[in-house]
Chain A
């Protein structure tokens, strides 16, 4: 048994499905706890073999520490989201037992994604996660916006699948195999790279950028983020992004590492567009979830920038950025989940005003998270941005670094506007937060984490450096 985490997860999922029939009372809560337990146990199996390297199932999947690390991050995200689901009960339309189970299916898909070593297994696992995500986005039957977001997400997701398939068919026709090792072999044998291969790679890149919402392909992001239930948005903005970044790094670095000249330029364009649109688009938003969507696009641009040199340091910085980005995003969404007025969920920015007067602790933590997203010095977001900028400048991409800094300043403006509205505006109408002690505690933990990372950045650096080593080890 070498492929333990995914096999365990799938079997556990089926068992939970059977158990769900016999649970009569509080079905969704009980199943939520069971899923949380399953995620914990799977996390144990992932961490147990984190330094193992093996190619399995006839080279369809590869187990290495890079994949295992991303799996563990994905499991942590999903664990937090399911925990939010259990503690914050503000959306009655999500009170169905399937919710946590569909999250489990999508995690299985993501875990397979980050370890797949063949275009076929990659395609099937991407489909597994996105089919589950389509359902999650349109989960709320009562809310019209949710189903509209579902239609949009479905159309864009399927389009991305089709583009991926067309690209991989071109690559298959040229190489004669869909396996990453054989594609890599083919590349190193070739004297000059055939054009068709680059076209195929561009197709795959476009499809993956549709999934991570990098900028020219970002149109769906604000609508889907706003329309889907807040809990689903929290999930959508963390775990799938990590998984797709894992795939992007694996595909670009390993089989297509030889043509870095070609994909490097594309990534530069993608990241410049993402940073510009992410920072400029958010300026005139009045909805907090839409603003978070643009902030995600901005962060994605930053992360893509670290991949441009395709070096080991860059990928280390990306891993660190992903960890910090997740903590910030989960914290902010935990707050958004708790926003409520007159029994209705509200997500407008003006609802934040005067939060400091009623809930000083929550306002303080939230301000920490927003400052961290903006990259204000002692916080976690600053460290990750610093690392990425360091990589970019080391590789003499000065124009990219300049654009990154300028967009970072622009984006600091709207984060600080949020903080100003929390601390200095007089409250228009009382916002009744669902103040349960667990979410207060979690929010302060997220805030404290972002504050305290400056004292032990070496831990994350060493961890991520030892993780990325496995990507570049000789195969």
Chain B
């Protein structure tokens, strides 16, 4: 099972990110970090498989993911800034106005 070790790493990273979104009750920035972690776990998978298969397209895919992750982080931070201006807090518990 030597060549598949990266799958364990990426699955762990993905789970950490996933749990980070749902367990964390303190900080919205942590959610952004968790999202980044999950994107990178997919990257590790792509690069590992690309090495394993001797096929370049996985690495190209991972470059695209990096670009999109940067754009997503930029927009996410912008939205967080607007939210912070209104509520003066970035805790997850402050997102509670809309419910029904």
Give per-residue flags for A110-153: 1 if the beta carbon is below 8 A from chain B beta carbons, else 0: 00000000011001100100010011001001001101111110
Which of the 9-residue segments A73-81, A155-163, A381-389 touches chain B? A155-163
Q: Which residues of B contact A287 (CB under 8 A)?
A: 100
Minimum CB distance partner of A149 in chain B: B98
User: How many A-B pairs fall under 8 Å by CB?
Assistant: 126
Give per-residue flags for B71-100: 1 if the beta carbon is below 8 A from chain A beta carbons, else 0: 110011001101101110000000101111
Q: Which residues of B contact A151 (CB under 8 A)?
A: 28, 79-80, 83, 95
Which of the 9-residue segments A12-20, A165-173, A304-312, A325-333 touches chain B? A165-173
Output the least CB separation between A287 and chain B (Å).
6
Q: Does B52 have its Cβ within 8 Å of any Cβ on chain A?
A: yes
Distance between Cα atoms of A286 and B72 in the complex (Å): 34
Q: Does A32 have its Cβ within 8 Å of any Cβ on chain B?
A: no
Q: Which residues of B contact A71 (CB under 8 A)?
A: none
Q: Does B53 have its Cβ within 8 Å of any Cβ on chain A?
A: yes
Distance between Cα atoms of A151 and B29 in the complex (Å): 11
State which of A135, A152, A284 has its C-beta within 8 Å of the C-beta of B95: A152
State which of A154, A165, A284 has its C-beta within 8 Å of the C-beta of B75: A154
Distance between Cα atoms of A119 and B80 in the complex (Å): 30
Q: Classify the secondary structure of B's interface with A.
A: helix
Q: Classify the secondary structure of A's interface with B.
A: helix
Give per-residue flags for B43-72: 1 if the beta carbon is below 8 A from chain A beta carbons, else 0: 001101100110101101100110010011
In the complex, which of the residues A119, A148, A222 has the most CB atoms of chain B within 10 Å of its own CB atom? A148
In the complex, are the beta carbons of B75 and A131 less than 8 A apart? Answer: yes
With contacts A151-B80, A154-B76, A176-B53 taken as known, whether A169 is within 8 angstroms of B39 at the C-beta atoms is: no
19 CB-based A-B contacts, threshold 8 Å: A119-B61, A134-B75, A134-B76, A138-B79, A148-B86, A148-B87, A150-B79, A151-B80, A151-B95, A154-B75, A158-B72, A161-B68, A162-B35, A162-B39, A165-B42, A166-B38, A169-B46, A172-B46, A286-B100
In the complex, are the beta carbons of B41 and A166 less than 8 A apart? Answer: yes
In the complex, are the beta carbons of A158 and B82 less than 8 A apart? Answer: no
Extra 4 A-B pairs, beta carbons < 8 Å, given A135-B75, A170-B45, A287-B100: A148-B95, A155-B31, A165-B42, A169-B45
- Residue positions of A touching B, CB distance < 8 A: 119-120, 123-124, 127, 131, 134-135, 138, 141, 144-145, 147-152, 154-155, 158-159, 161-163, 165-166, 168-170, 172-173, 176-178, 222-223, 226-227, 284-287, 290
In the complex, are the beta carbons of A150 and B52 less than 8 A apart? Answer: no
Distance between Cα atoms of A131 and B79 in the complex (Å): 11
Distance between Cα atoms of A198 and B49 in the complex (Å): 17
Q: Which residues of A contact B64 (CB under 8 A)?
A: 120, 123-124
With contacts A151-B79, A159-B21 taken as known, whether A173 is within 8 angstroms of B53 at the C-beta atoms is: yes
Q: Which residues of B contact A226 (CB under 8 A)?
A: 98, 100
Q: Which residues of B contact A138 (CB under 8 A)?
A: 79, 82-83
In the complex, which of the residues A151, A223, A290 has the most CB atoms of chain B within 10 Å of its own CB atom? A151
Output the least CB separation between A429 and chain B (Å).
22
Distance between Cα atoms of A246 and B64 in the complex (Å): 23
In the complex, are the beta carbons of B82 and A127 less than 8 A apart? Answer: no
Minimum CB distance partner of A156 in chain B: B21
With contacts A144-B97, A158-B35, A226-B100 taken as known, whether A120 is within 8 angstroms of B60 at the C-beta atoms is: yes
